[in-house]
Each structure stands twice: as structure tokens, then as C-alpha cells.
Amino acid sequence: MGLLPPEVWGLIVDQLRAEDQRTCLFLSKLHHDFALKALFAHVTVYFGLWRMDDGGLMDSIEKLEEMRRRNNTTFDVLRHISLSPDFARLVRTLSVRAFVDGGDGIFHTRALILAIQALPALRAFYWYGYLPICDDAIFSVLAQSAGPSLEVLRVPFTEHTHTSLTSFVRLRELRIDGVPVLESEGGAGVALHATQIALGALSGTLFRIAVSGDLVWGCSVRSLLGLQELEVILPEEPGGLALILRHCISLRSLSLFVLESDDLFSCLEACPTSLPDLRAFKFIHRDATYAHRNAEILAQFLRNKKKLRSLDVEISVDFNQGVHEQQLLEAITELTGLEVLGLNFQRPAWRLSDIELFDKHIPKGVTALRISAQLGQVDNEVLQKEWFDLFKKRTSLRYLQIFDKDRVLDLKQQILEDPPDVLELLGYGPFLRWLVRDHDDPDDDRPKYSPCWSASKLIFRTVEDFGCADWEWLLRWHDYDGIYDLEPGPYDRVTGRLLLQ
């Protein structure tokens, strides 16, 4: 082992789990340097502490101590970055979780500014939360220090969002969260228009945009022609999609999260053969009404996407609106390259023939599957077996995510006793667990579950947490309104006890 060249050791350390990388810090200088580089390539700093209830006082002494510990660590890390150039050069990604209880966070902001000024090679910057806000001072120093290097930027939409965007000359991915928090609608309009102009100036480098509202519709079509990935969340006027479908032929991934949808379906109907090279399509429709004709329009739009490999469709309707999966399932059968799939099925009363229908149309070679099921009848024992058999037949399935409003499809024990051959990750609502197999014990080939992901890890999840970009994409936006969207939610229905920490 000692004869391995340093480059190989670097690759090995990069693939280790974080706890094993920390062990490498104490082995030798060679291992220490590689581990330090891996551990601090992505630095997360904490201003306050995110809480699941998104408000109120700290609910326990333990939480208060955790906040103090993380805030002290944040101060130490930011100070070390600002004082140690060698350490600062290791940092490629900086994430800020801004959830201070009260005050303007001026001391947090000043410490952060000093650290950003010292970062010579920052590639990605993420800001979560609004207390303190990501203000003009932070944007300005970020533009000055990381303007030539920054490639990924995620920030909330405020009156300061647009101020320095054009300084990021290598920006490839931009996500703007939420809507403006401004004093007047006039100010919001000015900020919106200025942001649209800034996006136009970045058109030469941007390949991925994720925005809320109608921001993207106001951009010139020319500025969007080079996009490969677009996510539009809760637009007020979905009709702006028409120009995207007609002209943005380079798009490989499109995500739409809509409420009012008549105009949107009109766009899809008018352009059924658009975007022939689309590889990923996510469509989340949360409207109590969903016409039979809309199901036909969506199915026809999908049939022409022969290169699609990732599809995630959530259509939430009342039971009395009828069943609309038939057209979608038939369209899926024609998409022979699908590997990642998300669907929801709900019935006022279930029959075995329903599950047989799903089994017939869900691709056998799917590697990641999200199922949102709402089962109406009382006795689900046989149905559980049928669902389990459906999952078991997908021999390439590595990630399974189940949303289950009625808490009748909890199959974690059955899966543990007889897991699909290559399953690695099981999600049941907000409870995500790895299946850990001990390959060194030939007498015990059954896996064990890892501890559940924590609530904060789930909410701030990254591709690195999953280890697979497809899996992160599949779960994306399903918790837009919070962790409670991931049914059955984090609480015990009987006792009301919080089950997820």
C-alpha cells in the first residue's frame, strides 16, 4: 500500500465517508492533506438554527445548546478562513443557513464578509433563509471576490438579488428561491425587471435556471436559447411557457410546479412535438380539478419525448374527479428509455386489478421509483403483498420512495426481510434510511437499516447526500411547503409525538 502514488491516495480519500476522512487526518501528513482538502471543500456555516416548526422559541435545552455549538463553530471556521490563506484555498463551496431569532444579524454578516473576501477559488455559493437577509453588502463582496470563479449560485429573491449578478462571468447554475420580500409592489417590479435584464446578460454561460413565479417569462427568448435545464415553480401566468416550448430546443430538463393550469395545458396542447431531446420532465400539479382532457394532453406531450429517461408526475385531485392514470400509463409504456419514475395513484376503493395495471406499465428496469399512494379500503393486507411484489420485480431498483397519506403502505419490515436485489435507499414519507449490507458475513446476507436521515439533512439535502443526481432530482420540490408535504409526515398519528429529529 505504501507504494501507491499520491494521486491514487487522493482518489481513495475522496471516496471515503466523512467519518473515515476525519480519521485520515491523524494518519500521516499525506493522508492529512488529502482528508483536509476533501472535508473542507464544502463548508456550511450556521446563523441561528433551522427548526421544523419554522418559528417560536427553542423547544429544548438540547436545541439551544446545539445552536450555540454550531454558531461557535461557524465563528471559528469563518475566522480561520479569513486568517489562513492555505485553508481558504481549500474551500470550493460555501453554504449559509440563515435562521437567526430576531435582530439584524450584523455580526454574522460582517464575519461572513471577511471570510468571503479571503476565498480565492469559490465555485458555488448557497444561501438558505432570510434572517439575516442576503443583502447588497454580501452580494457586492461575493461579486468582487468570486466574480471570475463562481459557477453555481442559490439565493433568495430580495431587492438585492439583481445587483451583482452580471459580475459572475462564469455562472452556469442559478436558483432564486421564493418571491421578493419588499416594502412595495413598485419596488418588487423594479427588482423583478432588473433581475430579468441580468439573466439576459448571463445567457452566454447559464445552462440551468430554477425560479419561482413569472420571472423567467419576462426574459427575452434570445437570452434563454442556450438553457439546458429549467425549473419554474408556481407561476401566476403559466401561459408564458409557450415561447419556451417553441424556441428553447436545447432544453434537456424541464420542471413545472403549478396550481392554476388551464393556460399551461393549452401550451402543451399547442406544442406536443416540442423539445424532442428532453431527457427529464417533472410535472407537479396541485389543483383539486383535473379534466379528463388534460390527462390526454399530458399523455400526448410525453409520447413524443422518446429520449426521456427521467419522469416525475404528481397530479393531486379529489377522488370525485375520477381516475386519470390510464392515459399516462399508456404513454409511459412507449418511453422505453425510462430509468427514473415518479407517479401518484389514488382511489376511493382499490382493487387488485389496479395494481396489476400499474405493474404492467411501470418499467421493469427502473432504477429509482417514487410512488404516492392513497388507499381507500380498510383491509390492505393483500394489497400490501401485491405492492411489495411489484417493487420486488424491479431488479434494478436502487432507490424507492413511498408517500402514503393513509399510512397503509409501510413496507419497511417486509423490505428488510426480503429486499429487492440492489435496493440501497428506502424513503417512507420523510423517513429515509440506507440499507446496509455486511458483505463480510456470508452467513447473514440480510441488510440492516441505517438511522433515519435527520430533518435538517432532509430539508437541505444535496446530490452528495444521495450519492446520485437522479435521486435528488426525484425528491426535489415534493416538500415545497415543508417537511409535512412528505406524507405521512413526521408525527405519530396516534400520540402526536415527533418521530423525526
CA 260, 266, 267: angle at the middle one, nearest 5?
100
b/e sequence 228-239, b meaning 16+ C-beta within 10 Å = bbbbbbbbeebe
Q: Please check whether residue 1 lies inside any domain of the structure.
A: yes
Q: Is the pLDDT of residue 400 over 60?
A: yes
Residues 6+ apart with CB under 8 A from 152: 93, 123, 124, 125, 126, 171, 172, 173, 174
Which of 454, 447, 285, 307 lies closest to 372 in space, CA to CA? 285
pLDDT tens by residue, 38-51? 778 899 999 988 87
Verify cis geometry, omega within 30 degrees of 0, for the bond prior to 488.
Answer: yes
Mean pLDDT confidence for 339-365: 86
Q: Residue 141 is inside which H or E element, if any?
A: helix 136-146
Three-state DSSP at 446 gives coil
Q: Please check whether residue 475 lies inside any domain of the structure.
A: no
Q: Please check whether residue 94 lies inside any domain of the structure.
A: no
pLDDT given for residue 194 in this prediction: 79
> Is 230 or 54 the better-scoring residue by pLDDT?
230
CB of 272 within 8 A of CB of 298? no
pLDDT given for residue 161 in this prediction: 77
Which of 442, 388, 441, 440 lies closest to 418 in space, CA to CA? 388
pLDDT given for residue 182 in this prediction: 43
Residue 174 phi/psi, 5-degree rounding, is: -135, 125
Burial of 465 (C-beta count, 10 Å sphere; 0-12/13-18/19+): middle
Cell matching residue 456: 435538517
**What is the C-alpha separation between 228 and 251, in angstroms, rounded?**
4
Q: Please check whether residue 220 lies inside any domain of the structure.
A: no
pLDDT-derived band at 440, boundaries 50, 70, 90: low
Q: Is the pLDDT of residue 319 over 70?
A: no
CA 468, 474, 358: angle at the middle one, nearest 5?
120
| Percent of the chain at pLDDT exceeding 90 | 46
pLDDT tens by residue, 401-429? 999 888 878 888 999 999 888 999 999 99
Mean pLDDT confidence for 215-244: 88
pLDDT tens by residue, 55-106? 444 456 777 888 888 889 999 999 999 999 999 999 999 999 999 887 777 8
* First-last CA distance in the chain: 41
Q: Is the pLDDT of residue 290 over 80?
A: no
Q: Which residues pair with 343 in a beta bridge?
A: 371
Task: Domain of residue 9: give its range.
Answer: 1-39
Query: Which amino acid would we find at residue 227?
Result: L
Q: Please check whether residue 14 lies inside any domain of the structure.
A: yes
Which of 212, 108, 96 lies closest to 158 in space, CA to CA? 212
Q: Is the pLDDT of residue 376 over 60?
A: no
> Is 260 or 54 the better-scoring residue by pLDDT?
260
Q: Residue 68 is inside which H or E element, if any?
A: helix 61-83
**What is the C-alpha separation between 334 and 346, in angstroms, rounded?**
23
pLDDT tens by residue, 122-136? 999 999 998 888 888
Q: Please check whether residue 278 lies inside any domain of the structure.
A: no
> Is 110 or 382 the better-scoring residue by pLDDT?
110
Q: Is the pLDDT of residue 186 over 80?
A: no
**What is the C-alpha separation between 122 and 75, in angstroms, rounded?**
19
Mean pLDDT of the chain: 85
Cell matching residue 407: 399510512
Strands 42-48, 448-449: pairing kind: unpaired
Mean pLDDT confidence for 324-337: 88
**Among the ranges given (290-304, 359-373, 446-460), the one the predictor scored with the smallest mean pLDDT:** 290-304
Mean pLDDT confidence for 150-160: 88
The DSSP string of 286-306 is E-S---HHHHHHHHHHHHT-T
**What is the C-alpha separation between 393 and 362, in angstroms, rounded?**
10
Count how many domains the chain has: 1
Q: Is the pLDDT of residue 183 over 50?
A: no
pLDDT given for residue 401 in this prediction: 97
Q: Please check whether residue 26 lies inside any domain of the structure.
A: yes
Three-state DSSP at 453 gives coil
pLDDT given for residue 289 in this prediction: 66
pLDDT given for residue 57 in this prediction: 44
Cell matching residue 384: 400490501
Most confident of the following: 53-57, 72-76, 163-167, 263-267: 72-76
Q: Please check whether residue 453 lies inside any domain of the structure.
A: no
Three-state DSSP at 116 gives helix
- Give the count of beta carbons closer than 10 Å to the beta carbon of residue 267: 22
Cell matching residue 140: 457586492
Three-state DSSP at 162 gives coil
